[in-house]
Amino acid sequence: MRTIPLGHTGVEVSALCLGAMYFGTRTGEATSLALLDQYVAAGGTFIDTANIYAHWAEGGQGGESETLLGRWMKQRGNRADLFIASKVGFEYTGVDRGLSAGRIEAECDKSLRRLGVETIDLYYAHVDDRATPLDETLAAFDRLVQAGKVRYVGASNYTAWRLEEARAVSAAGGYPVFCGVQQRHTYLRPKPGADFDPQLAANDDLLDFCRVRSAEITLLAYSPLLGGAYTRADRPVPAEYAGPDTDARLAALRAVAAAHGATPNQVVLAWMLHSDPVVIPVFAASTPQQMAENLGALDVALSPGDMAQLNGASG
Ligand SMILES: NC(=O)c1ccc[n+]([C@@H]2O[C@H](COP(=O)([O-])OP(=O)(O)OC[C@H]3O[C@@H](n4cnc5c(N)ncnc54)[C@H](OP(=O)(O)O)[C@@H]3O)[C@@H](O)[C@H]2O)c1
């Protein structure tokens, strides 16, 4: 699979990152293992999970996704070939929200145990915690890196100004610098004032920040396919995306997809990979057909004209 440099790390990661959020809960064991195998067979190595996945799903407590990934890696003996991302900071069963040093250290040990690995390749602060000094959070991440428990750190659901603040704190303290920011992001733009609390959607500020600092921090987009809303009658476009340019953007998406013999989902993912800054989609799939379609985005080469059509579509 094509690879993309991850921020300042010098490491190249798969252009499409597989989200494992529902593996082990909503998506059953056998299907999850088959989807992971399918992703790896296509050359993918970048897998995204979190300590809390998926405590809100029926029968879930949190930790199921990491535990399933751990079983799969053990069975396949493929840990060394993979780049595993996990996260800390949101609340789940028996654990409060926050990024205190103690919480980070305890949750990292739990994630390592569930995953059955010695090191997490990319460890994200899952949500900003303004009640804990950044110095405390980043120093805790630094200790994890020094101990070999974590290779690189990232942030998720952070504003651009907080990332800049974190960067200054890391520089002053000699702590690791965030190499990626994972935000809600898709081709459709949230309508003005849309609120996804506690999630944050990438806004113009964040895109500008990541463009200017592209050698340092990479934007990763979660929920890029809006859960299937681009193509499925049973999945309406969420109300937060019903903005003034929604119809024009959907029309442009369909036109570009038709011209390429591709699907709208594929064009959304390809648009991210062709954007400035380059955006790594963190996508999910719950069937082999969805996985095949989504991986097919890598074959969609968008021209500058396509990108102008997609980016210029407005109401
Ligand atoms: N950092 C954060 O705060 C945060 C938040 C949310 C997610 N994430 C990460 O991002 C990953 C992806 O999030 P997401 O699940 O919201 O992303 P998504 O890619 O927008 O949605 C995935 C869902 O869309 C449907 N789908 C996927 N491909 C399809 C296709 N080709 N045709 C029709 N429907 C399709 C499936 O729904 P059905 O299963 O219902 O068929 C699938 O489960 C997660 O696994 C997680 O790792 C991070």
Residue from 36, 186, 225 whose mutation best tests the ligand 1 pocket (most atoms within 8 A of CB): 225
Is 234 inside a domain boundary?
yes
Question: What is d(CA 102, CA 86) in angstroms, rounded to the nearest whole number?
Answer: 17
**In which element (H, E) is residue 153 found?**
strand 150-156
3-38 per-position pLDDT tens digit? 999 999 999 999 999 999 999 999 999 999 999 999
194-205 per-position pLDDT tens digit? 999 999 999 999
Is 282 inside a domain boundary?
yes
> Which CA distances in Å does 165 have to 107, 129, 263, 277?
24, 13, 40, 21
Asked if 25 and 61 touch (Cβ cutoff 8 Å), the reply is no
The reply to whether omega before 5 is within 30° of 0 (cis) is no
Is 50 inside a domain boundary?
yes
Average pLDDT, the chain: 97
Is 306 inside a domain boundary?
no
3-state secondary structure of 226: helix
Is 295 inside a domain boundary?
no
| Atom number in ligand 1 closest to CA 157 | 3
CATH of the domain at 192: 3.20.20.100
209-265 per-position pLDDT tens digit? 999 999 999 999 999 999 999 999 999 999 999 988 999 999 999 999 999 999 999
At residue 42, the pLDDT reads 98
204 is in which domain, residue-wise?
3-241+271-287
| Atom number in ligand 1 closest to CA 232 | 33
Question: What is d(CA 184, CA 225) in angstroms, rounded to the nearest whole number?
Answer: 10
At residue 154, the pLDDT reads 98
Is 138's pLDDT higher than 80? yes
Is 251 inside a domain boundary?
no
Is 61 inside a domain boundary?
yes
| Atom number in ligand 1 closest to CA 156 | 1
64-112 per-position pLDDT tens digit? 999 999 999 999 999 999 999 999 999 999 999 999 999 999 999 999 9
Predicted model pTM: 0.98
Is 300 inside a domain boundary?
no
> Which CA distances in Å does 257 have to 100, 290, 300?
46, 16, 9
State CA 159 to chain mean position distance: 16
Q: Which residue has the tokens 């659901």?
A: 157
Is 315's pLDDT higher than 80? no
288 ligand 1 Cβ < 6 A = no
At residue 174, the pLDDT reads 98
Domain count, the chain: 1
